[in-house]
Amino acid sequence: MKSLLTALLLSVTTLIAATPAKTNKPLTSETDYAGIVTVVSDTSISLKGEQGTRVFQIHPGTLYGSRGKGKLTDFPVGTLAIVSFSKDGAARKAENIHKPRKNSKVAKAFAEKAGK
C-alpha cells in the first residue's frame, strides 16, 4: 500500500512539474506592434504600447488600413493602431499601419487600460 501511494505521489508530482507555467502572451506577433499613436510625420510614426514607445520608419511601400486603401492621415495622435513591420538593421520599417478590429484582443486590452 505504501509503495502504491508513493508511486501515485511521484506521478502527480511529475505531472505538475511537466505542466508549463502560464505566461502573458503579447497582444500581437513579434513583427506587429500595437499602441497609441504618439507622433506622426511623413517619415515615421511612434506608438506607445506594452513595451514602451517604438518608432517605425515610413517608406514608399508602407500600406495604410487593413486593405491598404487608407492614408497616413487616418492615424492621428491618440489613435489605437497596429504596425506590421520588418527590421532593416536596427530600424523598424512600417509595412502596414492599420486599426485593430473593434472586438479584437488588442482593442479590448487598450479599452480596459483606458477604463482604469
Q: 97 forms bridges with which residues in the sheet?
A: 64, 83
The answer to whether residue 96 is domain-embedded is yes
The answer to whether residue 3 is domain-embedded is no
Report d(CA 106, CA 72) in Å as an integer.
20
Range of the domain at 79: 32-115
pLDDT for res 85: 96
The answer to whether residue 52 is domain-embedded is yes
Q: Which residue has the higher pLDDT, 26 or 45?
A: 45
The answer to whether residue 80 is domain-embedded is yes
For the entire predicted model, the pTM comes to 0.72
Q: Tally the C-alpha atoms within 13 A of residue 58's C-alpha that lie toward its C-beta.
A: 16
How many domains, the chain?
Answer: 1
Q: What is the CATH number of the domain that holds 55?
A: 2.40.50.320
- Asked which of 15-24, 37-46, 101-110 is least confident by mean pLDDT, the reply is 15-24
The cell for 29 is: 506577433
pLDDT for res 53: 96
Report d(CA 48, CA 116) in Å as an integer.
17
Residue with grid cell 506592434, as numbered in its chain: 33
